[in-house]
Structure formats: C-alpha cells, structure tokens
Structure 1
Amino acid sequence: MDDEERERAMLDMLVVGGGYVGLAAAVAVKQAAPHLDVMVVEAAPENVWKNDTRASAIIAAASKMLSVFGVWDEILPEAEPITRMIVTDSRTSDPVRPVFLTFDGEVAEGQPFAHMVPNVTMVAALRGACERLGIEIRHGLSAADFTTGDASVTLSLSDGSTLEAKLLVACDGVRSTLRDMAGIKTVNWEYGQSGIVATVEHERPHNGCAEEHFLPSGPFAILPLKNNRSSLVWTERTADADRLVASDDLIFEEELERRFGHKLGGLKVIGGKRAFPLSLTLARAFVAPRFALAGDAAHGIHPISGQGLNLGFKDVAALAETVVEADRLGLDIGSIHTLERYQTWRRFDTFRMGVTTDVLNRLFSNDLAPIRIARDFGLGLVERMPKLKSYFIGQAAGTTTSSNPRLLAGETI
C-alpha cells in the first residue's frame, strides 16, 4: 500500500507523539488486538532520539508492563536497580547532612521498586516492538489541525497530507498542540524553578543507592546508573539554574560537589547538561469525542517524586485496556462513552499525584525554621514505622494499587 492509499484508509488508532508514552500506547493496543490498524506520527526527525543522554526511573509496575510487551529483557542489561533510597533535609552549607529516612529498595524479594533506564535504551526497545508488530511510524510531521466527525477524526499534517482514524491519541507533550486544538483547558502554574538534568561519573560505586536531598532551593536527586555513573535531577530557582547550565564545567562541578558531597570521590559531568522549567499542568478533561490525552499532554508534574513518566505508562495501560475491551465487545473505540471509562480511571489518580508533588515541593523548598522542624519530625516518625515505609514504597512502585490496569500487574489484556 503506497502513501496515497494509506492516507485514504481508515486507521483504528492514530497516535501523535513518538516518545515512550506514544510508542507504548501503540504497542499495548496492537499487541492485544493485532487486527486493529495503529499508526504513530512523530514531529521529530528520524533517529533524533538516539541523541538523548537522559535516564528515567521505571517503577516495578511499569517494568511488568514492559515485560508483557516482550521488551524488558532487552532493556534489563542496561537498567540499574535502585536497591536503597535515603532522604536528607539540610542546607547546602551544612557540614553534615543527617539521614532522616531510608527505604529498602525491594517491594518483594528480588524485585526492586524501580530501575534507572537510559532513555535511548527504552525508546529503542519500544521502537523494535513497533517494528515487530507492524506499527508504522511517520517522522518529521506535526499536527496542523483536526476535525471530528460522527464516525472518525481527520488529522491534517504539516506536509499537507491527512490521516483518518476512529481514535486520535495525543501524546505530544506538556505543551500539547492537539490538546489546544481540542479546546481542552488546563490548570497550570509555574514554580519559578528549573530542573537541571545531567549525568556524572564518580570514582567509587554507588551500590544502587538513590539519594534525595531536600535543599532550600528544591530537591536534589542522585539516581544510580551503570558503570559508576549517576543521573542528577537538580532543582534550582530558574535564574540560578540558567546560570549554572551556562557556566563552564569547572564551575558547574564545583557547585555540584557542594550538593553531591565527596562520598563517591571525584565527579565529572558527561554528556552535557540541560535545564527544564518546572510547572504543574493538569488537563481539565482527558477525553473528547474520538480524542484522548495521555502522558505529559494530560499532566505535567514536579519531578520531586520521579513519577512523571510512570504516570504516562499508567495512562497507556488504562487506555489500552479500555480500547481493546471495547473492541472485543463490538463497541466503537472512539466514542465518548467508551473513552469516559479511561478518563474516570485516570483523572483522580493524576490529580492526586499532582497535588501531592505540589505540596511536597512547597513544603521542602524553603528554609523556614518552624516548617523545617515539623517536616523533619515527620520524616523521623515515618523512619520508625516499618509498615508505613513499606506502604509508601509499594505506592511508589505502583504495586499496591487495587485499581491497576492488568498490564501493570504483568497480565495480558
């Protein structure tokens, strides 16, 4: 079938956005319902994803879904398990940073609550799954407009071509063009902070330990990678973050050592450094007729909990189960009645996580003495309650949620 014929054919599901969430959504539906025609459209040029030097935390529930896709064994050799996590609350100038809270990194024997995975490894595995399933990925095309009819939605692309589908899924990021085109409003506010993302090499092994230092300017997270490396998510006020990223490596590494410490020996930044403005963005609706939001297009939250990508994977699992079960019942996969089940499933969990990360950021990103005393007391209290700690780690891993879609429990749809 040539391109012209393909454009005239009716797709079952059209995904806009070729990142982890968009690719996972396409794989989840196509694997469970091979007869459905699924396509991915991506604005970025082909192979640009290979330049991504970042890494992401993949919780246990998400790794179960990737196992169902048949890609986790491919990812695992490059994944670093988080075996332990410690939390401190201090000032940058404090000579000693007492540990207020520690978490065992396992939700079950031999099952870490999360792994750190290089983004390039994860995207390569998901793209490979798309290829095996026969999912076409079109690159270098952005959405120009779309119109919704009774039985289909028609997407106009930047090259003048059009595609028609029963369901359009927007996975095009926190500044989603399709969300705006659909007229879906958001709740949004800026934090005045930016997250600096970088990878560092260090002399001594981290032994799988992740650290979260709550500093007055925001959380500073150290996340373990393979080969004596760590991924940083370093929150600073936006002006300070821009200054640090623009500085040379020597100045940056000096500032880094003040926060990172010397326990892992000398540090060296590898692969560059970038800063991303931080905000809370929650879509007021996740669906419209023949249209659904997933991933950052539906919700952008503060990285303090490391749950942003995993929220997107939860969207994928819920949307895929909704679509596939509707198809098996002979229902219209793009009807608003079908999609409302997905919205009901995901919107409260997303709102709760957005509020939680917002409150945590506001609580810990300050240096007011009464608040510091109260939060340190709270951390110490949790440290002395093993059952509560186990509950928190299970929640973070996504393994204690009774309403989880089947994919997140490691079950096929």
Structure 2
Amino acid sequence: MADATLDILIGGGGYVGLGAAVAIKDAAPHLTIALVDAAPEGVWMKDQRASAIAAGASRMLDRLQIWDAILPDAQPINDMVVTDSRTSDPVRPVFLTFGGDVEPGEPFAHMVPNKSLVGALRQRAQDLGVEILQGETVEDFTRTGPHVDITLGSGAKRRARLLVAADGVRSGLRDKAGVKTVHFDYGQSGIVTTVAHERPHGGRAEEHFLPAGPFAILPLKDNRSSLVWTERTREAENLLKADELVFETELEQRFGHKLGTIEVVGGRRAYPLGLTLAREFVRPQFALCGDAAHGIHPIAGQGLNLGFRDIAALAETVVEADRLGLEIGSLAVLERYQQWRRFDTFRMGVTSDVLNRLFSNDHAPVRAVRDLGLGLVDRMPGLKSMFIRQASGLPGRDGPRLLRGQPI
C-alpha cells in the first residue's frame, strides 16, 4: 500500500474529473494524481453532444493551456432570444433578447463539441503526468487516519490523501461515502440531437418556452445547431422510438423554418431531468465535484459551468493548503471548498427549478404574468447586463482566481 500512495485519486473521467486533475497538477506539479475512468478506451470520441462553455470557464481553460486546442471547434454565442408560445402557434413573439459580450470581443459563452473538450483535457492531463486508469472503477474505500485506502475493481489497492468523486449525478462514490441528497424528478426528459440547416445561424442561441418545457437551439460550427428538447418523459420515449419522418416532423414544428431546410445529423438520445443536490460536499479525505454534487435542469444552461466552478474552487483550496503545509484532505481545509460552492450551487438549483416550473405549463394567467416579466426585463439594460454577467460565470472579487484567468 505504501508504494501505491497518492496525493489525490479522482473517480470519474469526464470533463470535471479531468479538469480537476489538470487544474491541481498545473499549479502543483509535485502532487501525484491518478484518475479512475470506468469508460472503455476511446468511448469519449463517440460523444456527439455539445456544451455551452461560459466566459469564466473559457478563461480558466485558457489559463490551463487547453483553450487553444478547443478554439477551432468553438462557436461563439453572439446573442440570444427568448420566446414563449404554444407549439401550434404560427408566430413566436420574442419577449427577451440578450447581447452576447461580457467584455468587448469576449462572448459570454461558446458552444463546444464534448469530444473536443474531453480530448483536449485528456491530452493536457497526460502531458502533465496525471495517471489515467482506463476501464477501472473504485470498488470500495475506507478512511484510515489521514488517508483513504481504496480498492479498485481490478483488485488493486491504492492509498490517497484525498479522494475526489466526479462520477456523475448517480455517483456511486457519493453513496459509498454515505452522503445524502435532495432529489426531485420533473417527469421530463431532455432529448439531445444535432441538426444541419440551410441558412447560417449567425451565432444566435434561441430558447423557446413551450408547454412541455424549453426547446433550446444552440449554434455550432458549419451551419449546425445543437438541440436540447424538453418533453414529458413518456412523449420523449415515444419520439425516440418513432421513425425518422415522424421525429423530424415533430422537430420541424418546434424548430421552425427561419433557417431553411433542416436535417438531423446526430443521433438522438434522451436523459431524465431532475434536481439533485448533495447535503454535504465534503467529508474527511473526501470531496464531491460536478454532477456528483449537483444535478440541475438544463433550462439555464449552467450544468457544465457549475462543474467548472467546482474545479476552480477545489483546485485553489487544495493547492493553497499544500503550500501552507496543511493536510489537503482534512475537513478543516475542505470546508473552505464547501463554503465556496454550496450557496452558488443551491442558488442555481433553486433558480433552474423555479424557471422550469414557471415556464413548463400552459396556464393562461401564469403565461400572462411571465410574459409581462420577460418584457419588462427586456426594457431594463442594467438588469439584462446583470443576467449576462451571471450566465458568463465570471466570479466576484473573492471568487476563484482561475475563473478570472489568473494563476492559483
């Protein structure tokens, strides 16, 4: 066991696990880090989804020498429009518009293919000397004094000063640690696919609030758009089973004809939607990160960016503790990370929950009130700028330095 002692072992090989490994290793190269990725080799290359990366996250990725590898595939979001209508309405009036820059020449977000993001993170992690245990799992772990003794699925043993759980919203590591969650199932599923269209989108993102849930059109390179289409779970299941003609007819009814002829060019998949918040983010020698700590509705497009904020906060907490000679896995150290992230996560979870409940219905009085509210916001530039600043993920004065593009 002594020969296999690590400073940090991270469970989860997605963008959060990789990002945490890179952020810590970049600032503290002497720390030994291993990452356990349960997925088979190369499976990330098959991911056809795309994600919105806010300005704060892109600044962090630039600081970590990753952004240049992603940039050729990144589509800036230049502006955004919000509508509220029924699926059958012939016209969808625009109630709210947002400009896309947080600073001159800096969009508040980019759309990036997931495989480009994960590929760049994996390459940087390997360049820094992070050990990636592919096709491996964490079978069990126990705390032994200032260490965690870890048994891997292969039977191998590891010991670490800190175990980071970044294994998704259904985190097995969170369950093994005994951390309880608050969970609500919305009875909705998010259908994700990609379409090609005849006319250019101009970098415009659109969010159409429909009775079953939001229908988001997010711009990609090469006259393509990524769709996040919220439907009631049963209807989503029927749509996935439907033949191409039925699926594309339903899709076109929601997408409209403004960009000309559309064609589905990516696979269609659906994911159950709910709200999951961990009651604790840390235990001695143990920390939750990303969706293992919080899973929220995609209505605000902030799920991935909450994970990046976790990365920035955890990396700064661990690296500064190490520089001071403190035990990086002690509860006293990890409490700073929890205090940093808990309120922001709770606030965003509540915000997405309220927005989904407010807009995923067809009650006439509710519709009238929310449309009035959207119209008022559209006429208040100061309030719109505040919303854009929030969506950009840029921190305040006391926020993690990586999100400002500064070194730890």
Please indicate, yes or no, whether the TM-score normalized by the shorter chain is above 0.5.
yes
**SS at 2:155's partner residue?**
coil
Shift of residue 173, structure 1, vs aligned partner: 0.3
Matches of 2:215 and 2:346, distance apart in 1: 24
Residue in structure 1 matched with residue 163 of structure 2 by the alignment: 168
The structure 1 residue matched to 2:143, chosen from 148, 160, 164, is 148
Residue in structure 1 matched with residue 131 of structure 2 by the alignment: 136
Matches of 1:399 and 1:408, distance apart in 2: 6
Structure 1 length-normalised TM: 0.98
Determine if contact 1:394/1:400 at 8 Å carries over to the other structure. Answer: no
**Does the C-alpha gap of structure 1 residues 17 and 384 become closer, same or farther in structure 2, counting only changes over 3 Å?**
same
Matches of 1:274 and 1:245, distance apart in 2: 7
Deviations 1:333-387 (A, max 9, x none): 0001100100010011000000000000000000101100000000000000011
Residue in structure 2 matched with residue 99 of structure 1 by the alignment: 94
Residue in structure 1 matched with residue 289 of structure 2 by the alignment: 294
Deviations 1:44-70 (A, max 9, x none): 111110000000000000000000110
Matches of 1:53 and 1:346, distance apart in 2: 30
Shift of residue 108, structure 1, vs aligned partner: 1.1
Deviations 1:247-273 (A, max 9, x none): 111111100011000000111111210
> Are residue 368 (structure 1) and residue 363 (structure 2) matched?
yes
**SS at 1:271's partner residue?**
coil
Shift of residue 400, structure 1, vs aligned partner: 5.3
Residue in structure 2 matched with residue 192 of structure 1 by the alignment: 187
Residue in structure 2 matched with residue 282 of structure 1 by the alignment: 277
The structure 1 residue matched to 2:350, chosen from 344, 351, 355, is 355
Matches of 1:162 and 1:284, distance apart in 2: 29
Q: Which amino acid aligns with 2:290?
A: G
Determine if contact 1:167/1:333 at 8 Å carries over to the other structure. Answer: yes
**SS at 1:91's partner residue?**
coil
Residue in structure 2 matched with residue 240 of structure 1 by the alignment: 235
**Structure 2 matches for 1:251-266, cutoff 5 A?**
251-266=246-261
Deviations 1:303-334 (A, max 9, x none): 00000010000000000000000000000000
Q: Which amino acid aligns with 2:356?
A: N
Count of residues in correspondence between the two structures: 408
**RMSD value over aligned CA atoms?**
0.9
**SS at 2:199's partner residue?**
coil
User: Greater shift after overlay, 242-251 or 34-43?
Assistant: 242-251
**SS at 1:272's partner residue?**
coil
Matches of 1:159 and 1:11, distance apart in 2: 18
> Are residue 109 (structure 1) and residue 104 (structure 2) matched?
yes
Matches of 2:189 and 2:219, distance apart in 1: 21
Determine if contact 2:6/2:160 at 8 Å carries over to the other structure. Answer: yes
Matches of 1:249 and 1:269, distance apart in 2: 9
Q: Which amino acid aligns with 2:372?
A: F
Identity of aligned residues (%): 68
Determine if contact 2:192/2:226 at 8 Å carries over to the other structure. Answer: yes
Residue in structure 1 matched with residue 226 of structure 2 by the alignment: 231
Matches of 1:362 and 1:8, distance apart in 2: 53
> Are residue 212 (structure 1) and residue 202 (structure 2) matched?
no
The structure 1 residue matched to 2:5, chosen from 2, 10, 13, is 10
Matches of 1:252 and 1:377, distance apart in 2: 33
The structure 1 residue matched to 2:326, chosen from 326, 331, 339, is 331
Matches of 2:380 and 2:266, distance apart in 1: 40
Q: Which amino acid aligns with 2:404?
A: A
Deviations 1:277-319 (A, max 9, x none): 0010000000001000000000000000000010000000000
> Are residue 344 (structure 1) and residue 339 (structure 2) matched?
yes
The structure 2 residue matched to 1:308, chosen from 296, 299, 303, is 303
Gap regions ≥5 residues in structure 2? none
**SS at 1:265's partner residue?**
coil
> Are residue 80 (structure 1) and residue 78 (structure 2) matched?
no
Matches of 2:378 and 2:107, distance apart in 1: 19
User: Greater shift after overlay, 211-220 or 400-409?
Assistant: 400-409
Matches of 1:202 and 1:49, distance apart in 2: 26
Q: Which amino acid aligns with 1:190?
A: D
Shift of residue 412, structure 1, vs aligned partner: 0.5
Matches of 1:138 and 1:246, distance apart in 2: 36
Matches of 2:191 and 2:46, distance apart in 1: 17
**SS at 1:70's partner residue?**
coil
Shift of residue 402, structure 1, vs aligned partner: 3.4
Matches of 1:259 and 1:404, distance apart in 2: 39
Matches of 1:280 and 1:154, distance apart in 2: 31
Matches of 2:302 and 2:59, distance apart in 1: 16
Matches of 2:395 and 2:23, distance apart in 1: 22
Matches of 1:112 and 1:271, distance apart in 2: 26
Q: Which amino acid aligns with 2:239?
A: L
**Structure 2 matches for 1:13-28, cutoff 5 A?**
13-28=8-23
Shift of residue 8, structure 1, vs aligned partner: 3.0
**SS at 1:123's partner residue?**
helix
> Are residue 392 (structure 1) and residue 383 (structure 2) matched?
no
Q: Which amino acid aligns with 1:123?
A: V
Structure 2 length-normalised TM: 0.99
Matches of 1:364 and 1:41, distance apart in 2: 39
